[in-house]
């Protein structure tokens, strides 16, 4: 059972454009929603995270939008740069899970110069 569904699978954006990646979850017990960035040959690195008591969180060029009623959240990368080219994963955690994260399938982002 895939508890966190991510789309699109791949995304190509021009430099300076906005990259948008979406995730949907099923379990209403999830209480923490992070986004991770992964470069080839490296482990995932935390980008930004949100909790369900807020609808938006912004850190630099990265923004999470959260819609609790729709059970959806998205990552927006403003002014996308070639250095942002990587695989992005959304994830979710249940309060009772002891920090166990459930990841989405990933989005391969390519930012063309």
Partner 1 sequence: DTGVSQDPRHKITKRGQNVTFRCDPISEHNRLYWYRQTLGQGPEFLTYFQNEAQLEKSRLLSDRFSAERPKGSFSTLEIQRTEQGDSAMYLCASSRGRDEKLFFGSGTQLSVL
Give the residues lining the site for partner 1 (CB under 8 A). Answer: 4, 6, 32, 34, 41-46, 89, 91, 97-106
Q: CB of residue 39 vs partner 1: minimum separation in angstroms?
A: 10
Q: CB of residue 36 vs partner 1: minimum separation in angstroms?
A: 8
Residue 17 or 38: the one with the smaller Cβ distance to partner 1 is: 38
Distance from the Cα of residue 32 to its chain's centroid:
12
* Token code pair at residue 90: 């959304």
Q: CB of residue 62 vs partner 1: minimum separation in angstroms?
A: 15
Confirm if 60 and 41 have CB atoms less than 8 A apart: no
């Amino acid at each position: 059972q895939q508890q966190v569904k991510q789309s699109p699978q791949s995304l190509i954006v021009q430099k300076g454009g906005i990259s948008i990646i979406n995730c949907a979850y099923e379990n209403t017990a999830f209480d923490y929603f992070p986004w991770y960035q992964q470069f080839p040959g490296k482990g995932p690195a935390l980008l930004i995270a949100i909790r369900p008591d807020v609808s938006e969180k912004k850190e630099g060029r990265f923004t999470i939008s959260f819609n609790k009623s729709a059970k959806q959240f998205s990552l927006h990368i403003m002014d996308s740069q070639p250095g942002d080219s990587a695989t992005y994963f959304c994830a979710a955690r249940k309060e009772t899970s002891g920090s166990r994260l459930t990841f989405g399938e990933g989005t391969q982002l390519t930012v063309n110069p």
